[in-house]
A and B are shown apart, each in its own frame.
Chain A
Amino acid sequence: MDDFLAARLQMAFSLGFHIVFACIGMVMPFFMSVAHFYWLKTKKAVYKDVTKAWSKGVAIFFATGAVSGTVLSFELGLLWPTFMEHAGPIFGMPFSLEGTAFFIEAIALGFYLYGWGKLNPWFHWFTGVVVGISGLLSGILVVAANAWMNSPAGFDFVDGKYLNIDPIKAMFNDAWFSQALHMSVAAFVSTGFAVAGVHALMILRRKNVLFHSKAFKIAAVFGTVAACLQPISGDISAKDVAHRQPAKLAAMEAHFHTERNAPLIIGGIPDTANKRVDYAIKIPGLLSFMTTGDFNGEVKGLDAIPKEDQPPVAVTHYAFQIMVGLGMAMVLIALLYFIALWKKQQWLKSNWLLKLFVIATPMGFIALEAGWTVTEVGRQPWIINGVMRTADAATPMPGIAYSFYLFTGVYISLAIIVSLLLYRQITMVDKLYDSTSKLSKT
């Protein structure tokens, strides 16, 4: 394998792995805190059980996320030293703040996990909330650093030199808000649906129904509300990308020709050689409207971008379609769930709605990974948009392919063991966590 490709794949794998763990690690503390809040307020044992079971999940995901994050902070230099040499001082601000946020999260988690019975109950609850808030903050900060790669700011690029750097300006670059918003909501959608799906499956199997129903409801409410907010943030992101990175938008949409009244292209197979998209659904004028607010607005196509600066079209387009498609599917499920909550209570007792949630278990995370594929592949061939090419940033060390195989093997085995661990936590709910079921037995 080519070293450059291996380096890109290793980075993609490491990020793809880390993102899942980081998201769950930052969102589940909120679920946990809500359950904990109900326990302190209502004194119903089932909420304490759910809290404890979820806190185990948080611990597992936090630790795995922390470890994979540590690895990433090294990999940036191991794989992209030239990038880090110039970018490090400029976009380092969010990383240094993230260190603080993450540290606070770790300390708060220490208090939370080991604090049962040792701390004031409400202080204990509060440490759980701190875990969530600081986790979310570190997520936002890291995304701000990524946004800088899409929208470089806070320095003057003169004759290949990076002068007058301003780390604060770099952190608050044009893309940070739309990206951080989209990502934070996505974390809630994907974690909410994943957790709700697992509990829905257990309800369908009639195991510890009370326990799983309470857990399901908390996760489902978070996931569905976030799913309905996501299209709004998606719209903000799309307008922003169209404005800042026309090449990326053109690749997302497989939009080859600059035109007014540009159609929104749904699905289809992009044919880069002939510059057309086969078998696609085209809605006239919609792309122009979505990006400019005017059906006759001009949307730049790939023909406006020099050939050597064009991102790969097929991957970006497919990934974008997957993300939007799954996002819409989750909005539909969310709407059905809201109807069930407010109007049709009997739906909540029927199996089909739960089955829909079971099917949707992986949807959020697949959409999330697809979304990151759009962001990252859509920025190619640049590592710093318009400033530094990815190929120029790679390490001079040969043999990266072996490192890629090694890390891939490690991540796959980790994923398998973590899944096994979760499976065991879930099957042991009856014995370890559900106190009501123990009472019924004795």
Chain B
Amino acid sequence: MIYVVIVFLWTSILLYILLGGADFGAGIIELFTSKGNRSKTRKTMYEAIGPIWEANHMWLIIAIVILFVGFPKIYTTVSIYLHIPLVCMLLGVIARGTAFVFRNYDAVKDDMQKLYTPIFVYSSLITPFFLGIIAASSVSGQIDIQAQDFLSAYVFSWLNWFSVTVGIFTVSICGFLATIFIIGQAANDDDRSFFIRKARRTIYIVMFCGALVFVAAYHENIPLASWIFGDTLGLTAIIAASISLIIMFFLLQRKKPILLRLLAGFQVTMILFAATYSHFPDIILLKNGSNLSLLTHQGQAKAIDTLGYALLIGSIFILPALVYLIYIFQQKKEVQETY
């Protein structure tokens, strides 16, 4: 049952990055779009993400619940030593979620929008940035449970070049997902080629940020290269991701939005796989060399079993409904209120 729970944990993190990431990306892209094109981008994005927006950050909650029910030691270690980036991320979550609602449900469209929009776009940037920092810090080996002073216990646990570059990389991934997603939503050919240009630029940025992560890892003496390339499966995943990126580059012009989305999703899945597989089952690498492992630091068997059953039963209800929701709103049917 422990493996069922781990699969759910990994999948909910993946889905949060994919669906939530596209959602964050929407705000990031808006930030990096010139004023003239902003409202077009915004309108297209809203039509695309509106219906599934409510469901997106549920994945984060599920991942957190799995952690504290199944792996309490891991949850509390992260909560204590990564307190500050977690709080920053939470502020981003609050600001973003509420600003999204405010700008879409304010009955009067006036200058208040000028307040909501910056909150929305900047928090879209901050939240994935800190998510990346948290993810990187868990494996960068800087969490020091023997630290005596405030700085080394609670600040240098996450403040290093590696974590920061992973944060930037996460932001670029979100932007990438959003631009690929939006291509399929374009209303006409002009918009489409505008979004395609954008997508192409984002792909360059993602590759550049990815390279930065390796430089920073080298600088911090983190054996990232050997984690990813030293393992056959990890290497295969990265090669598969690269090939699909090249295919995607040539497909951008073709009108195959679904295929593009699948390729983008595939790439991110492969990157997450390569990044997590190499040190599975360890999930937190501590400074003193000991690791927190999903297998040795799991909760008592009964807790894991009931959690596993709860997740299995839950997904029977959730997945079909979610798929149907996405399916219904992907059909470009003219809305006619006939009743």
Residues of A within 8 A of B (CB): 40, 56, 59-60, 62-64, 66-71, 73-78, 81-82, 84-86, 88-90, 92-93, 95-97, 99-100, 102-104, 106-111, 113-119, 121, 164-168, 395-399, 403, 406, 410, 414, 417-418, 420-421, 424-425, 427-428, 432
B interface residues with partner A (beta carbon < 8 Å): 50-55, 57-58, 60-62, 64-66, 68-70, 72-73, 75-76, 78-80, 83, 86-87, 90-91, 93-95, 97-98, 100-102, 105-108, 112, 150, 153-154, 299-300, 302-303, 306-307, 310-311, 313-314, 317-318, 321-322, 325, 328-329, 333, 335-339
* Among B53, B313, B328, contact of A100 (Cβ-Cβ < 8 Å): B313
Which residue in chain B gives the minimum CB-CB distance to A130? B321
- CB–CB B64/A73 < 8 A: yes
| CB contact under 8 A between A63 and B97, given known A107-B325, A109-B54 | yes
- Please state if B321 and A104 are interface contacts (CB–CB under 8 Å): yes
CA separation between A391 and B222, bound complex, in Å? 38
**A67 nearest CB neighbor, chain B only:** B97
Question: Is there an interface contact between B93 and A110, defined as CB atoms closer than 8 Å?
Answer: no
Q: Which A residues lie within 8 Å of B53 (CB)?
A: 110
Decide if A421 touches B64 in the complex (CB within 8 Å).
no
Which residues of chain B are near A103, meaning CB under 8 Å? 55, 58, 62, 314, 318, 322
- B87 pairs with A403, CB closer than 8 A: yes
Whole-angstrom CA separation of A398 from B78 in the bound complex: 16
Are B57 and A93 in contact (CB-based, < 8 A)?
no
Cα-based distance from A74 to B311 in the complex (angstroms): 20
- Per the bound structure, the CA–CA distance linking A425 and B302 in Å amounts to 49
Instruction: Tell me whether chain B's interface is mostly helix, strand or loop, or mixed.
Output: helix
Q: Which of B101, B153, B329 makes the CB contact (< 8 A) with A59?
A: B101
Given A78-B83, A116-B337, check contact A66 B54 (CB 8 Å).
yes
Give A403 to B79 CA distance when docked, in angstroms: 14
Of chain A, the residue at the smallest CB distance from B323 is A107
- Are B94 and A410 within 8 A (Cβ)? yes
Say yes or no: A89 contacts B91, CB within 8 Å. Answer: no
B-chain residues with CB within 8 Å of residue A76 when the two chains form the complex:
68
Q: Which residue on B lies nearest to A108, using beta carbons? A: B321
Q: Report yes or no: A100 in contact with B314, Cβ–Cβ below 8 A.
A: yes
Please, how many angstroms separate the alpha-carbon atoms of A100 and B322 in the complex? Answer: 12
Q: Distance (Å) between the CB of B237 and the closest chain A CB?
A: 29
Known: A96-B65, A102-B61, A428-B107. 13 other contacts (CB 8 A): A63-B98, A69-B61, A71-B94, A77-B78, A88-B69, A88-B75, A89-B70, A93-B307, A95-B65, A111-B328, A115-B328, A414-B98, A425-B105
Q: A97-B314, A165-B300 are in contact. Are A117 and B336 (CB under 8 A)?
A: yes
- Chain A residues with Cβ below 8 Å from B313 are 100
